[in-house]
Amino acid sequence: MRARGRIRLLVALVVTLSLVCCAGSAVAFFLGGLSNSVNSAAFGAGCGGKTVEVNINLPPVAALGPQQMHNAAIIVSVGQQQNVPPRGWVVAIATALQESALINLGDLGSRNDHDSLGLFQQRPSQGWGTPQQIMDPAYSSKKFYEHLVKVSNWLTRPLTDVAQAVQRSAYPDAYAKHEGRATQIVNALTNGAARSVGSVITSKCAQPGDIAASGWTAPVVAEIVSGFRTPERPTHNGVDLGAARGTPIRAAAGGIVTLVRCQATTASGAWYGCGQDGSPSILGCGWYVEITHADHVMTRYCHQQIQPRVTVGQRVAAGDIIGIVGTTGNSSGPHLHFEVHLNGDRSFAGAVDPVPYMRDKGAPLGVKA
Amino acid sequence: MRQVLRLIGSRYGAALVLVLVIAAVIGFGRLLGGARPTAGGYEPGQGPPAGTSTEVTTSPEPDDGDIGTTGSPLPPSTSAGAAPASAVALQFTRAWLHHTGVSATEWHAGLAKYATKALQEKLSGADPAGVPASRTTGDPSIVGQESSYVDVSIPLDAGTLSLRLVVTDGRWLVDGVDWERT
């Protein structure tokens, strides 16, 4: 009996001591592969953290004049003071670009037949404030943010929908086209805040898989196994991301699905189809999707396992699942072939290297280093 | 020594041995495997590839992307006798511009005839006083056509109205409204 008691004591001691001293490192050892930290140097650019100073000479960006830059700085600065996450600054700048081109507009007289005023074209008659208040850019910015943060799911919905929910304009889709330029402006003023995680107030670089304040995210979190137009593959117009078969593919940004189809033929042009795995001797993208985003940017997602789960004409938000990774078409194994095209050009000429493009949007491709 | 043997023979001992064995197997596996987790998510049953790199292509095809066999997209199918997209766009534009001397309710009702439900919802709460133009200055032109929608541009006195039309129940309806001031 005494021996039994000693054994219990011994077991209890061993268990307790190992929990106290080693549990952390044991867990880290076993799960380390899942929680590796990020080598942010690999992604280059900054991710915010800079408080905007309004009363300095700001370097002009995105073809803005000094007055427009000054107003942009006020909008971002007010957002920072009110602890609005950086995604809100991008929405606010895009909205002001549409409504006033970042010029603090007074009454346009006969040119406007209503009472809209200021950077956001707010109306005294609709309860936005007195004309004097609305003509103060800091006041009008504050009012904009007050309404913005009350919009349901504003952090993840497409920019133009969120802006429209605040502005109630007669042109609900007009804000989308300013998203890229607004991102550029916010990044210039804050050293890259639009590259941070969109939903947090403290500046934190977006990691592969996060949705950045720019509204962009990586389609899959996977290693880049083949680059854009390498010497070996000069006509490889995208990057190959080595995700496993079945990995969900996410829309890289909000937009409208403009193409869904199977493209798989033999070298002689005979139909091969996407009901089976492809191979290097088959031509084409396999099951693939194209999404058209704001600013005439198009993204393409090839070799999907099965018919994509989106349909042409469907609107998607950043991060929405559009299909799963496979190896249909011209492919020797499961991966996602991902392309980015500019200027609405679907051809070879329109393709750009997705790696720097996505990095600049704060949605780096690859895996956590 | 006998005490140790007895310990191993007991319930506690057996449990301890099992824990150690499992830890050794997992730990050894991670050391050997280099532990490069992929972004998970493969379907259960399909099984993980044995190290994704072995299954993933790194060469040899020159371009595994689009091979450009599209041709021009087919226009979406509308019912026989349905008005063409540009005509619907013009009717919508006239209703949109008709914003003075009407109540908000009348203005919304005028648009609803040519707008998808989604657009009607997005326009809810919009005040006709906010319409920034008063007349057209030219004909609508089709600026983009995909298999599921067309983009139509209409020049107005104060800027350009851009409408996206989709086919709903066999006829063209406006689904998106963009505005650019000149």
**Mind listing the pLDDT tens digit for each residue in B104-131?**
999 999 999 999 999 999 999 999 999 9
Q: Measure the CA angle with vertex A16, ends A10 and A18; round to 5°.
A: 100
Residues of A in contact with B70 (CB under 8 A): 346
Mean pLDDT over A329-352 rounds to 94
The pLDDT confidence band at residue A8, using thresholds 50, 70 and 90, is low
Question: Average pLDDT over chain A, rounded to whole?
Answer: 86
Whether the pLDDT of residue A38 is over 50: the answer is no
Residue B3, pLDDT score: 65
Report CB contact under 8 Å: A7, B65. Answer: no
Tell me which H or E stretch contains B175.
Answer: strand B171-181
Mean pLDDT highest for which of A22-31, A84-93, B68-77?
Answer: A84-93
User: pLDDT by residue (tens digit) across B31-85?
Assistant: 443 333 333 333 333 333 333 333 444 333 445 777 765 445 556 678 888 899 9
Rounded to an integer, what distance in angstroms lies between the CA atom of residue A318 and that of residue A321? 9
Q: Which residue of A has its CA nearest to B74?
A: A259
Q: Tell which of A35, A173, A277, A279 to mutate to test the B interface (max B CBs under 10 Å).
A: A173
- For an interface test with A, the pick among B57, B94, B173 (most A C-beta atoms closer than 10 Å) comes out as B57
Confidence of residue A154 (pLDDT cuts 50, 70, 90): very high
Measured CA to CA, the distance from residue A283 to residue A274 in angstroms comes to 11
pLDDT: which is higher, A54 or B59:
A54
Please identify among residues 51-90 of chain A the ones whose CB lies closer than 8 Å to any CB of chain B.
none
User: Per the CB < 8 Å rule, is B127 touching A161?
Assistant: no
Chains A and B form CB pairs within 8 A to the count of 210
Contact yes or no for A259/A337 (Cβ under 8 A): no
CB contact, 8 Å: A225 with chain B? Answer: yes
Confidence of residue A323 (pLDDT cuts 50, 70, 90): very high
Report yes or no: A140 at the B interface, CB cutoff 8 Å.
Answer: no
Nearest CA to CA, how far is B56 from chain A (Å)?
5
Query: Of the candidates B35, B42, B166, which has its C-beta nearest A313's C-beta?
Result: B166
Q: Say whether pLDDT at A24 is over 70.
A: no
pLDDT tens digits for range A91-138: 999 999 999 999 998 866 555 557 889 999 999 988 999 999 999 999
Say if residue A252's pLDDT is above 50. Answer: yes
Angstrom distance (rounded) from CA A337 to CA A220 = 10
Of A33, A168, A339, Cβ closest to residue B127: A168
pLDDT at residue number A104: 93
Chain A: nearest CA to B81, how far in angstroms?
23
Helix (H/G/I), strand (E/B), else coil: A196: strand
Any CB–CB contact under 8 A between A293 and chain B? Answer: no
What's the pLDDT at A49? 76
Residue A182 scores a pLDDT above 80? yes
CB contact under 8 A, A312 and B123: no
Mean pLDDT of A218-247: 95
CA distance A252 to B135: 39
pLDDT band per the 50, 70, 90 thresholds, residue A29: very low
pLDDT at A325 over 60: yes
Q: What is the pLDDT of residue A114?
A: 72
**Which member of A98, A170, A263 has the closest CB to residue B130?**
A170
pLDDT at res. A277: 96
A7 to chain B, closest Cα gap in Å = 7
**Residues contacting B72, CB < 8 A, separation 6+:** B145
- Candidates A111, A121, A245: best to mutate against B (most CBs of B within 10 A) is A245
Contact state of B41 with A244 under an 8 Å Cβ cutoff:
yes
pLDDT score, position A23: 41
pLDDT of residue A327: 96
